[in-house]
């Protein structure tokens, strides 16, 4: 209950109740953290309002499209004004144009590559830069990744390349921010049934494939990502930085 008491957390990437960001936010809240949330646009505002309705009055909700430097600046000035500091940041944001996730990787056009990298990888650097001056007591920054960063997952395509950039960025950020006691890590999650996974053709057979082949013979529960989020946010992980932690029922260790 009190592992994160007195901590202020900022969460990017809640779209609905299925969002990985929401699973981790709930776990942070249950561990005693006070939270601020960004939402991508007016379309998602009421979702986030409804989900956080029970979190109490000091919950801050701020619009942020991560492709906008101005939006990002506004988020951190709002956090500074309301709380005066920041301890935790969750980056749970990714996007590539649908067409880039359907055909062949070799057909990725310049604009799809640019967008995927801007939204899914550069944004971590931008938010980390703004977060660091507010993390006056040190901090923990967590980003969400996927196995397609290191091995070819059919149709994950340019998102895999963007996740490779995200994971490498995590290491460079960890090196820059380590002297300020700010840790930066990725959670590499197994496939989760979220908005971002819906409409991916073959997603259901992917969940079945994990069930058949992962050492634990099952898929990952959202609450398990929440628990790892609390671990990476708390003192238990004080000497862990620049890492990718696999929360994937063991799938990543398999060679066949
Ligand atoms: P989701 O759709 O619930 O979350 C994706 C979020 O990205 C949404 O909240 C959306 O609003 C936000 N977003 C997209 N473009 C944005 C922009 N320009 N500005 C601000 N926000 C923007 O889906 P999810 O599965 O919870 O995805 C969250 C993270 O987890 C992503 O980084 C995803 O790559 C990663 N991930 C997902 C899975 C999975 O199988 N679902 C597995 C491993 C990692
Ligand atoms: O990171 C992701 C998905 C991210 C994502 C999803 C979408 C769908 C809607 C990024 N951009 C978009 N753009 C859209 O228009 N995952 C890890 C989930 C996922 O997506 C896949 C997967 C898995 C797993 C795509 C192809 C193959 C496997």
Q: Read out DSSP for 90-120?
A: EE------GGGGTS-GGG--HHHHHHHHIII
Can you tell me which atom of ligand 2 is nearest the CA of 156? 26
Quote the pLDDT of residue 225. 98
| Residue 48 host element (H or E) | helix 42-51
Quote the pLDDT of residue 137. 98
Q: Is 86 in the pocket of ligand 1 (CB under 6 A)?
A: no
Alpha helices in 121-185 (DSSP H): 123-131, 157-177
215 C-alpha vs ligand 1 centroid, how far in Å? 26
> Which residues have C-beta within 8 Å of that of residue 61, sequence separation ≥ 6?
36, 37, 38, 39, 45, 48, 49, 52
Quote the pLDDT of residue 129. 98
Q: pTM of the entire structure?
A: 0.99
Q: Can you say whether the dihedral through the CA atoms of 81, 59, 235, 164 is positive or negative? A: negative
Q: What is the mean pLDDT of the chain?
A: 97
Mean pLDDT of 109-135: 99
Q: Is 156 a catalytic residue?
A: yes
pLDDT over 80 at 1, yes or no = no
Which is higher by pLDDT, 202 or 112?
Answer: 112
Indicate the pLDDT class of residue 174, thresholds 50, 70 and 90. Answer: very high
- Residue nearest to ligand 1 atom 15, measured at CA: 95
pLDDT over 90 at 57, yes or no = no
Percentage above 90 pLDDT, the chain: 96
Among residues 39, 146, 210, 251, which one is catalytic? Answer: 146
Quote the pLDDT of residue 45. 94
Cα–Cα distance, 253 to 250 (Å, whole number): 6
Quote the pLDDT of residue 58. 80
Can you tell me which atom of ligand 1 is nearest the CA of 93? 7
- Residue nearest to ligand 2 atom 8, measured at CA: 196
218 C-alpha vs ligand 1 centroid, how far in Å? 22
pLDDT over 70 at 180, yes or no = yes
Q: Is 246 a catalytic residue?
A: no
Residue with tokens 């056009």: 109
Domains of the chain, first to last: 8-253 (3.40.50.720)
Percentage above 70 pLDDT, the chain: 100
Mean pLDDT of 48-75: 95
51 C-alpha vs ligand 2 centroid, how far in Å? 23
Mean pLDDT of 159-177: 99
Indicate the pLDDT class of residue 113, thresholds 50, 70 and 90. Answer: very high
Among residues 39, 156, 210, 246, which one is catalytic? Answer: 156
Quote the pLDDT of residue 199. 83
């Amino acid at each position: 209950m009190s592992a994160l008491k007195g901590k202020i957390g900022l969460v990017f990437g809640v779209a609905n109740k299925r969002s990985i960001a929401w699973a981790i936010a709930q776990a942070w809240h249950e561990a005693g953290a006070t939270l601020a949330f960004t939402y991508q646009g007016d379309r998602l505002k009421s979702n986030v309002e409804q989900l956080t309705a029970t979190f109490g009055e000091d919950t801050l909700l701020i619009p942020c499209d991560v492709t906008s430097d101005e939006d990002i600046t506004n988020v951190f000035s709002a956090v500074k004004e309301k709380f005066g500091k920041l301890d935790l940041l969750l980056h749970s944001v990714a996007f590539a144009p649908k067409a880039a996730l359907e055909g062949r990787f070799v057909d990725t056009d310049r604009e799809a590559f640019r967008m995927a990298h801007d939204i899914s990888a550069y944004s971590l650097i931008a938010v980390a830069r703004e977060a660091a001056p507010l993390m006056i007591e040190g901090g923990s920054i967590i980003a969400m990744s996927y196995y397609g960063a290191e091995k070819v997952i059919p149709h994950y395509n340019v998102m895999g390349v963007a996740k490779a950039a995200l994971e490498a960025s995590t290491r460079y950020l960890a090196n820059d921010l380590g002297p300020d006691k700010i840790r930066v890590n990725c959670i590499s999650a197994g496939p989760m049934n979220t908005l971002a996974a819906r409409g991916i053709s073959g997603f259901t057979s992917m969940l079945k494939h994990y069930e058949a082949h992962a050492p634990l013979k099952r898929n990952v529960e959202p609450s398990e990502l929440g628990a790892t989020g609390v671990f990476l946010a708390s003192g238990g992980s004080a000497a862990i930085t620049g890492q990718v932690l696999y929360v994937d029922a063991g799938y990543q260790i398999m060679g066949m």
